[in-house]
Chain A
Amino acid sequence: MASLAALPLAVVGQVEKGFIQKRTGSACQGKPSHLFCFDWARENIDRYGTPTLQQLELVAISIVIGFVVAFALALLAHRRRWLRPPLLAGTGILYAIPSISFFLLLLPITGRSRETAIIALSAYTLQIIFRNVTVGLDNVPASATDSARGMGMTERQVLWRVEIPLATPEIIGGLRIATVSTIAIATLAVFAGAGGLGTQILGEANLTFPTTILIVIGIVMAMAFFFDAILLTIQYYATPWRRARAS
């Protein structure tokens, strides 16, 4: 163990040796005390367009895939209850594997690509959506499904016209958590070689330049709140009976 100190700790070493250098050639050159350099931001805001769109695309595709798969699995587990524990455990494992690790484990198989990022990101959403859909379907009062059956609905009609609509708040709740988390985590897609806003942080000069880091954090969080608000609006219009009750 004594020789460990002599081992090259590449990244840490770089940081300590002045890996952290002041960005040169910018409007804020020579003013390292600037936490946020508005001049630089104004001049360079263009460079965030493409990464933002890349990140949006990754998130949108991953959420759609994650939702379709998790929703199908939840319906399956709703019919066949014994499937629930293994599905919960399986999606739980996918959820627990750190995204960076997941991206890199896929690299030998799918290479540095958008697909690699999408597989890992959609796998990450499964647990959240699966759990919310099953909880939502469980919480539908038996009286509602009994009434539906009494009205002569088939099991399929009960599912699509009664159970799923009544579970909408939980389903959208899961979708909101999954979307917001995925928007934030997609910043790490840079490790999968899939671009995104992480590219604007993970560069030697960027790492020490608070302005660009703050811009990325700002864009990511604004994106997350924007999509959260959209999903909340969808929920509002998708569940008119809740409004009727409130008024």
Chain B
Amino acid sequence: MIGIAPLFASFGGAIEFILTPQTSNVTGGNTVGGLDQVIELMLAQLEVTVLALALSILIALPLGLYLGHKGVGEVAAVGLGNAGRAIPELGLIALMAAVIGVGLGNLTIALAVLGIPPILTNTFVGVREVDAATVQAARGMGMTELEIVRKVEAPMAVTSVFTGIRTATIGIVATATIAPLAGVATLGEFILGEDVYGTDGVLAGAILVAVLALVLEFSLAALQRRMTSKGLKLRPA
């Protein structure tokens, strides 16, 4: 165990790295860190996270709703979710960089590979769990199939869908940290570039990535509460 003082020094150094640009022997005389660079890299990580998440939702949500509504493809939808969890993120990004190439577009696709399975599986399961009697009632009221999906199944599956989106977001934003390996500068730049940014930079990167991930998680939780239909909220959980 180490004392409190060196611990403070480590984290203190990291905070200083975040707030003010510094030049030192460790950084090879280059000016690194500081709020400007921190904000730029954080926005870059947010950008690629949002892009990959949007792509994942665009593919997985309609597919999940469709398969769930039709009640087909359970093995594929659930199996894909299981297989998706087994993909090592580091391997995926490295493979993509080595085989397909580096850059924002390729990275977005690779990250979407991580985001699609949880959203697809949870959407499918959420729709399947809607009471068949409810769907029959909607049909009896004269709703078209599309209306049933839009007005009945989707709102009732919101909790499950959001569980999938939150899982996807956590995976994507975490993996976006190693994006520099695929040629896209994110906060991982500080983490992977210890030679240039020093240990302060590495720790600063870790703090910033954790903050970014938690902000995203809390925002999505808040959004989930807003998206849940009022009628469903009244129901005892």
Contacts and interface: CB of A to CB of B under 8 A. Distances in A.
Asked if A and B bind, the verdict is yes
Interface of A: 1, 3-4, 7-12, 15-16, 20, 35, 92-93, 95-105, 107-109, 177, 180-181, 183-185, 187-188, 190-191, 197-198, 201-202, 206-210, 213-214, 216-217, 220-221, 224-225, 228
B184 A12 contact: yes
Interface residues of chain A: helix, strand, loop or mixed (majority): helix
Contacts of A12: 180, 183-185, 189
B164 to A, nearest CB: 13
Given A184-B89, A187-B89, A95 B170 contact: yes
19 contacts: A7-B31, A8-B32, A10-B189, A20-B97, A35-B99, A96-B217, A100-B177, A101-B207, A104-B206, A108-B7, A108-B10, A188-B89, A198-B88, A201-B91, A201-B94, A202-B94, A206-B94, A210-B98, A213-B95
A206 B98 CA distance: 9
Nearest to B11: A108
Nearest to A217: B91
A11 B184 CA distance: 9
B98 A213 contact: yes
B35 to A, nearest CB: 11
Interface residues of chain B: helix, strand, loop or mixed (majority): helix
A3 B35 CA distance: 13
B209 interface: yes
Given A101-B210, A208-B97, A220-B91, 11 more contacts: A9-B193, A15-B180, A20-B97, A20-B98, A96-B213, A98-B177, A98-B209, A104-B191, A190-B90, A207-B181, A210-B98
> Which 10 residue pairs are nearest across A and B when measured between Cβ atoms?
A98-B174, A10-B193, A104-B206, A224-B86, A10-B196, A108-B10, A11-B180, A187-B88, A217-B91, A96-B217
A98 B197 contact: no
A105 B185 contact: no
Interface of B: 2, 6-7, 10-11, 30-32, 36-37, 40, 82-83, 85-92, 94-95, 97-99, 102, 170, 173-174, 177-178, 180-185, 188-189, 191-193, 195-197, 202-203, 205-207, 209-210, 213-214, 216-217
A9 B185 contact: yes
Contacts of A198: 88, 90
